[in-house]
Structure 1
């Protein structure tokens, strides 16, 4: 029996060194909200990464690891997704971009 590979989604935020992005809120409030909303559907972890210095381009990256594709689909289709998305405006004005990653 082979194990199913996790489904990994990267959520990125693009901007400039002066773009509003509250890192403390993102890590301390938003990511726990994401975990609470989607953990029951198969979200296994959420981790945030930031550039070491203020710069233009990528200002934040979040890695979301789901058990599998079905867990991702169930999470995004859940009633809690609207609360997760509405919370974005509390820490930034930037629209998040989602990209699925694959292992090679």
Structure 2
């Protein structure tokens, strides 16, 4: 299993349309990558920092794929550009992406 974390840092002037992200973007991601090993999509709204201050991130997304191979194929496949371009429709923040592999002991 592999995931990609997508974080949207907070900053002055940053905007994020949570309704569009949840109602339009996530269904688009599920539709385009659903048959490519995407198992689960989660979106979290930043509420606060651990000490109760302002959140360091407006939102965090997690996409879970059946394997690292499937994740990499989706990120470079035919729908990657469409999904990436749609991000500008709900935020002016450049997201930070990190690919993660599940740790097994």
TM interval, short-chain normalised: 0.7 to 0.9
- Structure 2 unmatched ranges of 5 or more: none
Shift of 1:87: 0.4
Does the Cα contact within 8 Å between 1:16 and 1:56 map onto a contact in 2?
A: no
Residues 40-59 of structure 1 show CA distances to partners (whole Å, capped at 9, x for unaligned) of: 11011100001235935211
Rounded to whole Å, the distance in 2 between the matches of 1:97 and 1:90 is 17
TM-score, normalised via structure 1 length: 0.85
TM-score, normalised via structure 2 length: 0.84
Any runs of at least 4 consecutive aligned residues in structure 1 with deviations exceeding 6 A, and if so which? none
Query: What does residue range 1-104 of structure 1 map to in structure 2 within 5 Å?
Result: 6-16=1-11, 18-52=13-47, 55-104=54-103
Q: When the two structures are aligned, how many residues end up with a matched partner?
A: 99
Shift of 1:103: 4.0
- Aligned alpha-carbon RMSD (Å): 1.8
